[in-house]
Amino acid sequence: MVTTVGTESTFPKLVRNLLLLEHDAIAAYEQTIERLENPAYKQQIAAFKSDHDRHVMELTRLADSLGTEAPTEGDAKQLLTTGKVALASIMGDAAILRAMKSNEEDTVSAYERACKHSEVPAEALRVFEQAAQDERRHRGWMQETAAAG
């Protein structure tokens, strides 16, 4: 799935769409934790999920400061992010991690574009840069671990 998050015309829309993307990601992380067999993988995925929980808190603060609606759950894309994990679970942990890596591609792209958005104030830029760094770390771990498994 290729996301368009990060291409919004206004900063409030960007924040709202990043929140939707984060909620979709959290749902996929919850699916992944349920379906993984390897306890060490589950523990690492839970740690990554806590990064996404923090992103939601930070984005919600930004939305509140803008007077923008802060979604509390994902949208229809959530079916795609969680569906990939559910299908991959048939083939084992490595397949689940590859599915999650493809989900992380979207979050990495979204935050990298958000960092370049013309309306992003300095406070938000710090939040976006940290989130992009987190997402690249998640993606890298998933890629390496899936390849080894």
Residues whose CB falls within 8 Å of the CB of residue 38, separated by 6 or more in sequence, listed in order: 93, 149
At 108 the pLDDT is 95
Please provide the CATH number assigned to the domain covering 11-148: 1.20.1260.10
Nearest to 103 by CA among 138, 74, 76, 73: 138
CA angle 104, 30, 53 (to 5 degrees): 70
3-state secondary structure of 64: helix
Q: Tens digits of per-residue pLDDT, 15-74?
A: 999 999 999 899 989 989 998 999 999 999 999 999 999 999 999 999 999 998 888 765
Cβ atoms of 142 and 101 closer than 8 Å: yes
Stretch among 89-98, 103-112, 138-147 having the lowest mean pLDDT: 89-98
Cβ atoms of 20 and 75 closer than 8 Å: yes
Residue ranges per structural domain of the chain: 11-148
Quote the pTM value. 0.88
Q: Is the pLDDT of residue 82 over 70?
A: no
